[in-house]
Structure 1
């Protein structure tokens, strides 16, 4: 009895303290239960600030991923291991062909020989060959061989040029025939037809540099053509009114794709009517480098 009495017997001030403590606990509980502390403010997930923040995070993540990628240093392709070959993107068969070749105590001394032995694709060869590092004596040997081949090729080109030189029917590039173009060294049946087809698409060459736009035509070959043929008379092109032309008709312009056509129509709707064709330059992201060729087929009326 005395044991319980010693634990539950309090004087008046202690009882008051316990009473006030109980009251305080009850008040806190009531406040927690009946008062809403949630904020009315909401954060828009798609706000510019949030999107910008996420873009910064993605950018930092991309940089970090790029830093973690293993770097490729110059190496001698004769000593590629299974692990190294896999890192470079080679298949097990390609690596095995190299290892079998090396077991014969032979070496590959150029990227062409490497491809011949391993049979890797052109795309993979172009990707990894810049890192090939052959011994200095091999490099000098390759350079000497390349120089000899270059001289032989140049000699053959000159001989072929003088042998195949034929008279042309015209100097006007817009009237030249396929046979005329084929008198240029490096131009065969395929490219001569391709040039004429592109010339038809343009309604004729208005600028000499438009020849460089012919798909697959090398710059050196194009320069040979322009040294022989010139634009005697500029073609008379069919122009369309940019203020009234339809979307489908505007797409026929050889220098206007779908996205640019859409931008022109949006700008036309915005300004109601273009007073001058040069207003196209006001369009955001307009390809100014193509302006002179685009307006060949347009007029603002």
Structure 2
């Protein structure tokens, strides 16, 4: 019995070692069971990626086929979608310029306007401009422009009518302005409480220069709205908001600019302020003063 017992008897250190070794094997088995081989996951991921890339390539080929077979038709350049812009060969920057221009309620009324706004290259413009289609009333105005300015007399100040009294109907009948532009003039005049100066007609989007010239040959501001100019360096936000060319955010920007720079010594400094258009400085001066 002593001989047999000696074969199965182990020292305490050996028993502890065997226990730790068995524990390690058990942990490894658990790990392999619950966590798959990472290399297999990578392979599966690469396979899925290859499938997706194949689908993308097929879509690209389909788009190219559609582009090649696309039959160009006349269109209004004021309404160009992202996809149509891609088909026409316009860059995203050129499209963004067009969308920005249109967001202000302005319209593209000629090939020259499209070129000026988008800065598109001459080669692309030559390909797409033959398909530009503008509303009929624009075409009629273009055709009548050469003789239009010769059909009305230039009146003296005393003979002219009052721009602050003219109705939309007279604007359409005497000047030949489209109905929606005539309504826009009257609505804008009412919104600002009446015109102070003839130059405020430049604020009317869609009013052509030859139409404005004829209008001012027959009418002028004879009863300007009486206002008291505000000192821009001392004006409050509330006072600035009452000026037609400033919204609340712009008024805050002006006050911050004055606070940081002590004062505004020239109206041209306003171009540094977000929300102020340098093109409208001459109209802004009608309501403000520097001291």
After TM superposition, the score normalised by the length of structure 2 is 0.44
Q: Which has the higher contact order (CA 8 A, sep 6+)?
A: 2
TM-score normalised by the chain length of structure 1: 0.43
